[in-house]
Structure 1
Amino acid sequence: MKKITLAACTLLLTLMLGGCSVSVDGSNYESVAPDFDIKAFFNGNVKAWGIVQNRSGEVVQRFMVDINGRIENGVLILDESFTYGVGDGVKSRVWRITQTGENTFEGEAGDILGTATGTSHGNAFNFRYQMDLPVDDTTYEVSFDDWFWAFDDRTMMNRSYIRKLGLVMAEVTIFMQRQG
């Protein structure tokens, strides 16, 4: 009887934790148009509008980002400036993104732990990285699973899943538009 109860509890816990996870399969976007070219999209000025929602779906941050992108010696540099309407957060970030293969990239920024890895999937682009994320008076080491989807050559949507111990703790939704 104890073994059956333990097995039932384990199955229930597995199903509950699986429901808290999000998994995007990049291969679903390989043949979807238009292709998303991260270097072409961000080479210039980009305006972004976004929100962060906690696990309950409550908007805990609303922000705008001005992104000044440029390519120097083959490296894509994104100089980001943030302003907040709700909540508070990082004021600026500078990404340095290098193409390492036909569809692969690596990126670094001052507040990112280690190196971010990126993969292009036709219409989509996936960026994964670790970060010490400040929340109130403490900091949490979290993983970002960052997905970008092109609408056209000027408009893009970004969805980030922020995980702690494998569970999605918050989600970020951002719309971006090339300027000029």
Structure 2
Amino acid sequence: MRTLMLVFCLMLGGCAAGVEDYQGSQPQLKLEQFFNGKVIAHGMFQDYHNKVIKRFTVVVEGHWQGDTGTLDEDFTYSDGSKQRRVWTLKKLPDGHYQGTAGDVIGTAKGKAVGLAFQWSYTLKLTLDDGSTMNVGMDDWMYQLDAKHLMNRTTMHKFGLPVGEVTLFFEKQ
């Protein structure tokens, strides 16, 4: 029975959508266009029980020079706390991107295809008690139209889901 369950789980994993599934979809997401200038997002973090733990607003100022972009993100949480993250992004050939930020371990790597962008990275997450925990981030963005983008991120530790972040961006 255990073997059957393992085979079933592996088969389901193979059914997950990949970024290539969005080939030809419109509007085409180009990070260097959407995140150029001011973008405002509203979002929430849910724990592994789907309970909303935090809500937040983030103001993003994006600037690109050639294939290199900077995204300066200022977060304001519902409890009044604040956080800042500054991304340095690099556009690579064939829709690939890579990025770094102060609380990202190593380099984020991803790809944009059609209306979708997916990338993965490890985030050094600061917890409410001040301690930190490294979590894997599986980040998916979908451009809805010229001014709106939806972001859904699954967070995991040791391969197990620990939370989810949902954001809705509006280009100003």
Instruction: Name the CA shift for 1:13/1:157 in 2 (closer, same or farther; >3 Å).
Output: same
Give the structure 1 partner of residue 94 of structure 2: 102
SS at 1:53's partner residue? strand
Alignment of 1:16-95 (within 5 A): 23-86=16-79, 91-95=83-87
- Amino acid aligned to 1:115: T
Alignment of 1:104-119 (within 5 A): 104-119=96-111
Deviation at 1:135, TM superposition (A): 2.2
- Amino acid aligned to 1:146: D
Deviations 1:77-110, CA, capped at 9 Å, x for gaps: 000000011585x610000000121211110001
Identity of aligned residues (%): 36
Structure 1 or 2, whichever has the larger Rg, is: 1
Pair 1:159-2:152 in alignment: yes
SS at 2:78's partner residue? strand
SS at 1:32's partner residue? coil
Pair 1:123-2:115 in alignment: yes
Regions of 4+ moved over 6 Å = 16-20
Deviation at 1:66, TM superposition (A): 0.3
Task: Report if the CA contact (8 A) 1:60-1:86 is conserved.
Answer: no
TM-score (norm 1): 0.85
- Separation of aligned partners in 1, 2:55 and 2:128: 16
Instruction: Name the CA shift for 1:140/1:16 in 2 (closer, same or farther; >3 Å).
Output: farther
Give the structure 2 partner of residue 141 of structure 1: 134
Deviation at 1:26, TM superposition (A): 1.1
Deviation at 1:132, TM superposition (A): 1.7
Pick aligned residue for 2:167 from 165, 171, 174 = 174
- Separation of aligned partners in 2, 1:98 and 1:39: 9
- Amino acid aligned to 1:103: G
Q: CA RMSD in A?
A: 2.4
**Unaligned runs of at least 5 residues, structure 1:** 1-7
